[in-house]
Amino acid sequence: MLYDTFIGPFVEFEFMRRALVGAFALALGAGPVGVFLMLRRMSLVGDAMAHAILPGAAIGFLLHGLDLIAMTAGGLVAGFVVAFAAGLVARVTELKEDASLATFYLVSLALGVMIVSVRGTNLDLLHVLFGTVLALDDPTLLLIAAIASVTLVVLALIYRPLVLECVDPGFLRSVSGAGAPAHLAFLGLVVLNLVGGFHALGTLLAVGIMMLPAATGRFWARDITTMIFIAVVAGAISGYAGLLFSFHMSVPSGPAIILVAGVLYAFSVLFGRVGGLVRQVFPQRHLEA
Amino acid sequence: MIFRRTVLMTAALVAALLAADNASAQEKLKVIASFSILGDLVKNVGGDRVEITTLVGPNGDAHVYAPTPADTKRLSDAGVVFVNGFGFEGWITRLVKASGTKAPVVVATKGVKPRRMEKGEEHDHGGTDPHAWQSVANARIYVANIRDALVKADPTGQAAYEANATAYLGKLDALEQEVKDIIAKIPADRRRIITTHDAFGYFKDAYGLDFIAPQGVSTESEASAKDVAKIITQIRRQKIPAVFVENVTDPRLVKRIAEETGAKIGGTLYSDALTGPGGDAPTYIDMMRHNIRALGAALTS
């Protein structure tokens, strides 16, 4: 009974195993990136970038159909162009980074909608928006795993400047010139993970597996390392539980995964050890225990 | 003044158009066919002597068609109205009545042995499967009925209609031979597919190919893991060699199902309507030929 509910589906069906591996790889890469986005108060940047990627993926799709390489390349190019152009405008002009990013992603989104309308294949393009975690083939899985690996390695390399920029960007600027390159590399990772995520979850839900586990981690830990660990675990649990819900309750898998992540987040807001609502209301009792 | 002049000119124009309309009507027999496949059969028998209007055009779904006021007008002008019968066009009876047309309504399936819908494959036709044209033998009955009706409505064209019908029946014989040849090449234990269409009952009875409905497939843009698991289990358990599932719209998902089960993914099957002139199935013969070749390609190798 327990076996049938929790393990059986993955033993019996290869597509479930693939989906699970994909979800784990996504959680591994997107979780840490999400934590840094959150700590740098850039949580909504992920959302903006996801919209910016859409037209690139759409162009790739319209030129080559549901082709992994074309859609990935298109998404990456669009994401990088928007990220770097926005960063450049923010650094050399008066405009702040959020406003600059907003302008670029809106233009990018409008372009995407126009491309889609001109070609008139809205139905097919819905797949780009929604993704299919249930249909991950070998190349897609390899891509997602590679993105997770690259993310972890690059994060290890730029960890110090990145953490310092979260805490005290002014200090970092005074002692080192590593801030700007680290920032750019980090934005690159955001784009990479969103592109990896949209193959499995679609452009819009890819942000969910990035931000929700990160926000969950914030309620359980004070130091960044533990926070990242919890974010990855929360992401992996969301993937596993979401797939099980999709299997047993017959609900679409992508939204199910993100909704489980949302439930974990809501639980953390209430009962989290660090700043959770219940802890705030009854602080002494917990200290005594 | 200007207003009155406009009205007069418009009236004159309308009168002229109507006159022109009547003039052309005297040259050709105006016939109505309820849907595209029937229209194609009528066209092949009627040839140049008839002017055909198809109410539900190519790619249209005759099951859920909503007639327009223009259809009423067309019916009242018509010389003969052809319908499939067996409850296929539930809307036609009321439409004919509303139009007040004097034209005889010819049921093309007259003389076809009706087939009961099997459990689980019904949309509401009162239990009778109306898709009789999926057997070429039945199409021959259609053609005979159409020929007799046209001769009755337009006796001067009798020779032409009979010649056309004979020529077309010859083509249908060749078509049926091709269907049977291809089926014969498929090993007996591979003669079954999964498809979302429930319109192949007559085909199944006539040629011995089993069409099995898939379980739990949705047309939503996102399938659930349960849907995918159900169809995979079914393919494995019933050892189905090929799957024709057009309405699982995501090609990546269909590919995944194929890889996991070893089943082949077939192309599109046409059942209820023809395609436009540029499509795979612009005529009845093209449609049947396309279907049997798609089936043969998926099942023989």
For A135-189, how does the pLDDT look when each residue is reduced to its tens digit (9 = 90+)?
A: 888 999 999 999 999 999 999 999 988 888 888 877 877 777 777 788 888 989 9
Bigger pLDDT: B167 or B234?
Answer: B167
Which candidate, A57, A60, A85, places its Cα nearest to that of A187?
A85
Q: For residue range A42-94, list pLDDT tens digits in order.
A: 888 888 888 888 888 888 877 877 678 888 899 999 999 988 888 888 878 88
Residue A286 in this model has a pLDDT that exceeds 60: no
Residue B213 in this model has a pLDDT that exceeds 80: no
Residue B24's pLDDT is 47
Note the ipTM here: 0.79
Residue of A nearest to B220 (CA): A252
Amino acid, res. A130: F
A250 to B222: CB separation less than 8 angstroms, yes or no: no
How many residues belong to chain A?
A: 289
A132 to B228: CB separation less than 8 angstroms, yes or no: no
B255 to A19: CB separation less than 8 angstroms, yes or no: no
Question: What is d(CA B103, CA A286) in angstroms, rounded to the nearest whole number?
Answer: 89
Which candidate, A224, A155, A217, A184, places its Cα nearest to that of A86?
A184
Q: Which helix (H) or strand (E) holds A72?
A: helix A68-92
Q: Which two tokens stand for residue A119?
A: 């070609």
Q: For residue range A184-218, list pLDDT tens digits in order.
A: 889 899 999 999 998 888 877 889 999 999 999 99
CB-based contact A261:A235 (threshold 8 Å) = yes
Residue A289 in this model has a pLDDT that exceeds 80: no
Residue B13's pLDDT is 60
Which letter does DSSP use for residue B117 in this model? Answer: P
Q: Which of B217, B218, B219, B224 should be substituted to probe chain A, the one whose Cβ sees the most A Cβ atoms within 10 Å?
A: B224
Cα B298 from chain centre: 23
Q: For residue range B260-299, list pLDDT tens digits in order.
A: 888 888 878 888 888 888 888 899 999 999 999 999 988 8
Residue B37's pLDDT is 94
Residue B119's pLDDT is 53
Which candidate, A246, A233, A186, A237, places its Cα nearest to that of A33?
A186
A-B interface: how many C-beta pairs under 8 angstroms?
76
| % of chain B residues with pLDDT over 70 | 84
CB-based contact A12:A239 (threshold 8 Å) = no
Q: Which two tokens stand for residue B80?
A: 């003969």
Highest mean pLDDT, choosing among A47-51, A116-120, A260-264, B103-107: A260-264
CB-based contact B257:B263 (threshold 8 Å) = yes
Return the residue matching tokens 């057009």: B246
From A6's Cα to the closest Cα of chain B, the distance in A is 14
- Cβ neighbors of B4 (< 8 A, separation 6 or more) are none
Residue A177's pLDDT is 75
Which candidate, A226, A224, A157, A215, places its Cα nearest to that of A186?
A157
Q: What is the mean pLDDT of chain B?
A: 83
Residues of B in contact with A16 (CB under 8 A): 225, 229
Residue B122's pLDDT is 46
B225 to A137: CB separation less than 8 angstroms, yes or no: no
Coil, strand or helix at A117: helix
Residue of A nearest to B249 (CA): A124
When mean pLDDT is compared across A121-130, B69-78, B128-137, the lowest value belongs to A121-130
Residue B25's pLDDT is 45
Residue of B nearest to A244 (CA): B225
Residue A243's pLDDT is 94
Span B60-67, average pLDDT = 80
From A246's Cα to the closest Cα of chain B, the distance in A is 5
Q: For residue range B140-198, list pLDDT tens digits in order.
A: 999 999 999 999 999 999 999 999 999 999 999 999 999 999 999 998 888 888 887 77
CB atoms within 10 A of CB B203: 26
Residue of B nearest to A252 (CA): B224
A252 to B222: CB separation less than 8 angstroms, yes or no: yes
Q: What is the pTM of this model?
A: 0.72
B221 to A130: CB separation less than 8 angstroms, yes or no: yes
Residue B123 in this model has a pLDDT that exceeds 60: no
Residue of A nearest to B252 (CA): A135
Beta bridge partners of B35: B56
Residue of A nearest to B230 (CA): A247
Q: Does B216 touch chain A (CB under 8 A)?
A: yes
B224 to A66: CB separation less than 8 angstroms, yes or no: no
| % of chain B residues with pLDDT over 90 | 38
Q: Does B259 touch chain A (CB under 8 A)?
A: yes
Q: Does B225 touch chain A (CB under 8 A)?
A: yes
- Cβ neighbors of A285 (< 8 A, separation 6 or more) are none
Which candidate, A104, A98, A132, places its Cα nearest to that of A202?
A132
Bigger pLDDT: A166 or B53?
Answer: B53
Q: Does B120 touch chain A (CB under 8 A)?
A: no
B226 to A250: CB separation less than 8 angstroms, yes or no: yes
Residue A135 is nearest to which of B216, B227, B256, comparing CB atoms?
Answer: B256
Residue A232 in this model has a pLDDT that exceeds 90: yes
Q: What is the mean pLDDT of chain A?
A: 86
Distances (CA, A) of B156 to B44, B149, B162, B167: 18, 13, 12, 19
Residue A104 in this model has a pLDDT that exceeds 50: yes
From A96's Cα to the closest Cα of chain B, the distance in A is 38
Q: Does B260 touch chain A (CB under 8 A)?
A: yes
Bigger pLDDT: A135 or B247?
Answer: A135
Residues of A in contact with B224 (CB under 8 A): 246-247, 249-253, 256
